[in-house]
Structure 1
Amino acid sequence: MPKAKSTKNGDRKIFVLDTSVIIYAHNSIMNFAEHDVVIPITVLEELDQFKKGNDTKNFEAREFIRLLDDLSQDNMIHNWTPLNGHSKGSFKVLMNPTNKFNANEIFGEEKNDHKILNAALSLKQSEPGRKIILVTKDINLRLKAKSLDIQAEDYETGKIKNISEIQNTNKVILDNISHEVVTSLYDSFSIDASKVLAKDQINKANAFYILKSSKSSVLAYYNQEEGAMERVDKKIAYNIKPKNAEQAFALHAIMNPRIKLISIQGVAGTGKTLLALAGALEQRRDYKQVFLARPIVPLSNKDIGYLPGDIKSKLNPYMEPLWDNLKFIQNQFKESDKEFQKITEMINQEKLVIQPLAYIRGRSLSNIFFIVDEAQNLTPHEIKTIISRAGENTKIIFTGDVYQIDTPYLDSMSNGLSYLIDRVKDHPLYAHIKLEKGERSELANLANDLL
């Protein structure tokens, strides 16, 4: 968004906000620097329909309505009302206007999107000296706007600039390492990091390395707090053993008590959720509860209300992949084994809870091992809200694939998982691992690689 600066009125732009922007970030109205913001009345009508419920869009709708009420105070909102702050512009709500051109007639259908386009068209007529820009996360609405000669943009706040920068696996391969260094790591587990790392690598907290000599190689982790390079072994967690270097790194981070926040990225079948859950079960004595949650994103963007049955029946299809991972781990043991029985006991005593993410909103996250699956379907605000709920002795793991997004107004650069990876990298409490190799089956790998 534009940076605040002193401008003449003619230089100040007017941004028209679509509903998709507000349910992405309810405080978006405050992020347009010195420029003015218009909310079409149609947007308020749509938000009124969204205000009830436990989903994020319902929360964002309610928060925006409260914010608008606070900002307007005793002013009539169809008039320009100053936004808080000397560097801010003003806002108003635009009633349904009468235009020379009518988007409903042009596109042959009466829709709320077209009413929002009409609001932008009306401003172009009434404010001929101002630049009018429609801001929406709906790509198709942006295309329609451009067909009507209306400038249209995505909402950029919180969107990372370069997706390639987050593709780093946090894994570094170092060749030409002396055989003595590799041997020392095998013999003593830990060595002084300065023997291996350059000065510019010393600040990279919780990085993982493959150290290669001419004769052998070793997996290693940089412990910034101790200034040490430590050997990473392929340890077993609740009978789940890492199958490749990246999985070993992921499980090492999951089991490391110093690391409180982890993101694991990878395509389907790389073992993201399985490793997180296995690590949680292995550390079950260290936490009061294990929460495993995911956002509900109905297919074809329909509300789950159209599904048959009670609320539990409606939600079960979305939670089933999480239960599948748990059953896979449980089936590593015989029913008579104490490990098998412990999982059943944890579920019955609610020490292990699998629920939709919306059901956990507002709960205290103290002494919790919290796994959030499909995190790429969350907004940056949702990610921040979850982390800000963390109390003492809580570890949070976000898993997902930034290229497999099921929500219509997020993409690889604006989703919450990408935002997290970009903003928190190199922090001593955080580790990021990208799983590259599918381990589900050869057939699943064929789909990921060739289809």
Structure 2
Amino acid sequence: MKKVYVLDTNVLLQDPLAIFSFQDNDIILPAVVLEEIDSKKRLMDEIGRNARYVAKLLDGLRLKGQLHTGVTMDNGGDLRVELNHRSFARMQELFLDMTNDNRILAVALNLHAEEQQKEKPRMVILVTKDALLRVKADALGLLAEDFLSDRVVHEFSSLYKGYTTLSVSVDVIQKFYGPGPFDMKKYLPQYDFLPNEFLILKDELGSSSSAIGRVSGDSRYLLPLVFGDEIVWGVKARNAQQKMAMELLLNKDIPLVTLTGKAGTGKTLLSLAAGLMQIEDEHAYKKLLVARPIVPLGKDLGYLPGEKEEKLRPWMQPIYDNLEYLFNTKHSSDLDKILAGLGSIQVEALTYIRGRSIPEQFIIVDEAQNLTKHEVKTILTRVGDNSKIILMGDPQQIDHPYLDEVNNGLTYVVERFKQQKMSGHITLHKGERSNLAQLAADLL
């Protein structure tokens, strides 16, 4: 039997195509949802873009019939803009204020009551990203669900890590260090591994024998690390995962690298060091482009005075902190002189990336967990020939109102590209900033 889904505004603002995700069931859009979408359409950000996209979708469906009476979509489901069922009487005793959330809740509650009068009542389900609205629905005896179809993994713990630890015999480890290529089908036939996945081989009997290798792009061979132990601009990998990250960052045959991990695990420092080495020393790329999304932590500072560079400085300060360490400078003015002299390092906000083509550059996108799927697609489609792009961030530290650890752009890229030989991923675990920073990351 068909179900009735009442959609909250935040579902559509997070994924404009959400109305097509409910198969042949009925979709109800309360009138207040249209009002909220209308109030967002002038925003010049991702939320505004999604609001405008939803408006165009609904306008296209309007050609099939009147939305307030219902139109049938291509997937067999019916979409209706609900102008009735707005009575607040059933909720008055519990929720006194006529807020927009409570209006949506009233529509769902009244539709539920109407269905209960029928001989074969259908389930009425409120779909919202707002946890408190789901709690309110429970209090009223309504079914409420989060919108989950935008998730690329069901749980964050199942996100691809980029490496696997195996217990094997000492003979297998010795074969890896022996002459000739290590054939995966011959020595590890019972396993299937992804391109550029790393393997940590440990002796199953508990001895200190171990090895770290990278699976080849065709998933046939296990290759020894080439760059993992290099000292790059004074930076040396301190743990196994950092060695794996350095292997990916310095490998010119892997144009897309994703790095995830808690604060202090070395994502930004390793990426900047690898980029500077390949630009200034090896001249493999023409420019180092470092970018971050402009998403504030806490209360926004509002508009900042000055030229573009002055406006961006507070947002980009974490990048400058790492550059000061790499260039061994004590004052920001000294760093500014070095950067002006080099001319090959550009620190930019992602706001300015749309419409660009970026060839022959080493591109670092920090805090990529605050990007939506659409934004990360926009960025990756800007990458030109002979460029390398690094996407990094902590999916568990998200400041975007409509994203979480399993539906953000960084997680999306990790999962979608994990089977491609031109990409590699590593999850960094151990903090190397300081003992205090590591303890704070673990405890807080």
TM-score (norm 1): 0.84
SS in 2 for 1:234: coil
Residues 2-59 of structure 1: CA distance to partner in whole angstroms, max 9, x if unpaired?
Answer: xxxxxxxxx2222121121112111111111111212222222222222223321122
Q: From 418, 426, 437, give the equivalent of 2:419.
A: 426
Residues 103 and 115 in structure 1, CA contact (< 8 A), matched pair in contact too: no
- 1:318 maps to 315
Matched letter for residue 133 of structure 2: L
Q: How do 1:164-183 residues align onto structure 2 when only pairs under 5 Å count?
A: 164-166=157-159, 168-178=161-171, 180-181=174-175, 183=177
- 1:54 maps to 44
Deviation at 1:106, TM superposition (A): 3.2
- 1:158 maps to 150
- 1:146 maps to 138
Q: How do 1:379-394 residues align onto structure 2 when only pairs under 5 Å count?
A: 379-394=372-387
1:132 aligns with 2:120: no
Matches of 2:190 and 2:388 in 1, distance apart? 29
Matches of 1:416 and 1:449 in 2, distance apart? 24
Residues 30 and 107 in structure 2, CA contact (< 8 A), matched pair in contact too: yes
Q: From 52, 68, 73, give the equivalent of 1:78.
A: 68
Distance of aligned partners of 1:435 and 1:74 in 2 relative to their CA distance in 1, 3 Å threshold:
closer
Matches of 1:239 and 1:54 in 2, distance apart? 41
Matches of 1:448 and 1:436 in 2, distance apart? 10
Q: How do 1:322-361 residues align onto structure 2 when only pairs under 5 Å count?
A: 322-331=319-328, 343-346=339-342, 349=343, 351-361=344-354
- 1:101 maps to 89
Matched letter for residue 132 of structure 2: N
Residues 178-215 of structure 1: CA distance to partner in whole angstroms, max 9, x if unpaired?
Answer: 3643543xxx7x63334884124454211223345656
Deviation at 1:253, TM superposition (A): 0.5
5+ residue gaps in structure 1? 1-10
Matches of 1:124 and 1:432 in 2, distance apart? 46
Matched letter for residue 117 of structure 1: L
SS in 2 for 1:164: helix
Residues 70 and 79 in structure 2, CA contact (< 8 A), matched pair in contact too: yes
Matches of 2:312 and 2:331 in 1, distance apart? 29
- 2:295 maps to 297
Q: How do 1:352-431 residues align onto structure 2 when only pairs under 5 Å count?
A: 352-431=345-424
Q: 4+ runs of 1 displaced by more than 6 Å?
A: 332-335, 339-342
Residues 64 and 71 in structure 2, CA contact (< 8 A), matched pair in contact too: no
Deviation at 1:368, TM superposition (A): 3.6
Matches of 1:103 and 1:289 in 2, distance apart? 60
> What RMSD, in angstroms, separates the aligned Cα atoms of the two structures?
3.2
Residues 5 and 125 in structure 2, CA contact (< 8 A), matched pair in contact too: yes
Q: From 253, 259, 265, give the equivalent of 2:260.
A: 265
Deviation at 1:147, TM superposition (A): 1.4
Residues 317-363 of structure 1: CA distance to partner in whole angstroms, max 9, x if unpaired?
Answer: 3322122222222227999x9x99764445xx4x4332332332343
Matched letter for residue 157 of structure 1: S
Matches of 2:200 and 2:186 in 1, distance apart? 11
Distance of aligned partners of 1:47 and 1:429 in 2 relative to their CA distance in 1, 3 Å threshold:
same
Tell me the percent identity: 39
